[in-house]
Chains A and B, each alone.
Chain A
Amino acid sequence: MNININKIQLAILCLMIAGLSLLFTACNKEGTIGEAVSDLYHLEHEGADMPIVVEGNTASKVFILILHGGPGGNAKIYNDVVLRMSEPLEADYAVAYWDQRSSGNSKGRFSPNKLNLEQMIEDTDMVVELLKDQYGDDISLFLLGHSWGGYLGNAYLATGNNQEKIAGWIDVDGVHDFELMMRAGDALMNEIATQQINEGSNQRVLWQEIKDFTDETEVNGISLQQFSEINRYAYVAEGLATTDGLIEIANFEASELFQLLWHSAFGSHNPITEATNSVMIQGTGNLMNQIINRPLGEEMGKITIPSLFLWGQYDFVVPPAVGQDALEKIGTPGHQKSLAIFGSSGHSPMLNQPDPFMELLIKFIELYK
């Protein structure tokens, strides 16, 4: 055997061995109580391995569980990108970022039949139970659902006695009725497109395209294809409204961008896993077909806990009319529910107008914690 290794190669080998020693040093903390905690859990349930990152002030005993958008989005985006929401929240409370089944960095293997609303509700309940198991039954737990997360939150709270475990519900541009969402989105796009064309917007050619589409579109019943088309135009409209100054641009400071890049490169992100998960949950079609044909309607009346609805005025994806309908439908007493519409926001007011958004959010948590 004839092996010659020079000093550089030896140094690199040493580095490799040092790296290897890191391989099995996964942290094993559980339920850490402190003011700047970062705990990582995985919930193994019905074939899925779903990560839950708990960050912030667990000593406060106030927890906010994020139900991310999608289906097939990821929770870490609310931590890494929406820093103006996550940082103030984590300073005072603990935030649980959970990647749902077949979303974000979730792993595992399961039958396509497990991608349905009932399973998602059960998963949500498991996460709630896990947080109470790890941090104590006395924690005050709020749900914050965004977009699809709004549908999941509404469906979860309207099921059985689930809402008894939750101190308050924050619905941010969430959907509960897809037909209403499509009809209202179509109408809002038409209205704003007409307004911008008449005002001589520089983007009037594109606005005209949206107007033509919405003039031709008639929402009668539900189809996945029509939903996809309206959804696509809604995001185009949001981009145009941002360019025209109707929606405030989400400004990032250099430090925020650096943090985002750092997390992307060295953090837990895996874009391939995230994309594959998203394709699986959208492509399987089970969940989408189920939810677009199942308006929560009457079920919303079962929700009686304090609820806050936060909406962007120019949200063409889930328009404010959907928030107004949800506010009216839930069974929460009038003085414990409210809807706030942010005048310069789109589908993500926490990005567009973080300051007024956070003011209302913290006020609500302080009131009902």
Chain B
Amino acid sequence: MHSYTHHQLLLLLIGCLILTCCHTKSFAQKKAKSSNNEVLEEEISRNNIPNHGKLRLKAGYFGEFLVHPGVKVGLEYTLWRKDKQKIRYWKRKDKEYAKSRTRTIFMAGNTAAYYHPNNHTGTFLNFEVGYRKYKNKNKKSSRAHRIKFKEIAVGYGYYRYFLHGTTLKWNGDDFVRTLGTQGAFMPYFGFGWGRDFSLKGKQTHSWHVRPVIFLEIPYGTLGLLHYAIEMGWSFPL
């Protein structure tokens, strides 16, 4: 009688598991394919990520800490966009739903200012390039407007601070007042997330939260790392 070794038994078991999984998946796909075409189109339409144009206005809070006031305004332009839809089977409800995914690459020009009490007011102009991924896989039609997105952005800009209080400089004879300002270059990185309300009634805006870090170079004998939070809306123009 032929006897199996432990290794052969283990391989057999893994093979059985893979076959079972493949069968389950093909069953689900078959179920999806068997549905009515009209329903599918409706599903795709419902969860589609709409395109409101390439240009968006962004405005919101920007500050070193959430307790310090600040504002950031910018214009964003979509350079590239790719949409993809898939039909998925919702086993529990025995129905299909559409899963939409859109990827975009964008560039933006921004200006911002924030206020750090009794310290300084920081301002900057920057240019950024980013990648954003939208997802909409809501199964319930009542939640179809909840398009989520994640984004990363890198940028470069010019930063300038204005010191608070009275800034004085010795000119050799006397102390004279100066503006108390210095400029620096500003590499920038941000990772954010948000929601697009494009499908909610007539609204076309989205909100986002983006923690960012940026460098002030040169500073002291090296450079200074800043961290900040951005929160705001964007509207298609």
Contact = CB atoms under 8 A, between A and B. Distances in A.
Nearest to A106: B220
Contact of A51 (B69, B165, B184): B165
B115 A267 contact: no
B227 A272 contact: yes
Nearest to A9: B233
A130 interface: yes
B170 interface: yes
B221 interface: yes
A4 B203 contact: yes
A265 interface: yes
B222 A276 contact: yes
B225 interface: yes
A367 interface: no
A284 to B, nearest CB: 6
Interface in A24-48: 24, 26-30, 39-45
Contacts of B174: 133
Interface stretch (A110-118, A221-229, A327-335, A340-348): A110-118
Nearest to A3: B235
B71 A19 contact: yes
Contact of B204 (A4, A20, A28, A45): A4
A51 B119 CA distance: 8
Contacts of B120: 107
Contacts of A270: 64, 116, 119
A360 interface: no
A49 interface: yes
A interface, size bucket: 35 or more
Contact of B182 (A2, A17, A107, A268): A107
B168 interface: yes
B164 interface: yes
B interface, size bucket: 35 or more
A119 interface: no
B166 A42 contact: yes
Interface string A97-133: 0000010010111111001000000000010011001
Contacts of A284: 221
Interface in B159-215: 161-170, 174-175, 178, 180, 182, 184, 202-205
A268 B162 CA distance: 14
Contacts of A11: none
A109 B59 contact: no
Interface of A: 1-5, 9, 13, 16-20, 22-24, 26-30, 39-45, 49, 51, 53, 102, 105, 107-112, 115, 126, 129-130, 133-134, 265-268, 270, 272-273, 276-277, 280, 284
Given A5-B205, A40-B118, A268-B116, 4 more contacts: A26-B165, A111-B221, A267-B118, A276-B219
Please name the 4 residue pairs, one residue from A and one from B, whose CB atoms are nearest each other, closest first. Answer: A19-B69, A40-B165, A268-B118, A26-B164
Interface of B: 52, 57, 59-61, 64-65, 67, 69-71, 113-121, 161-170, 174-175, 178, 180, 182, 184, 202-205, 218-222, 224-227, 233, 235-237
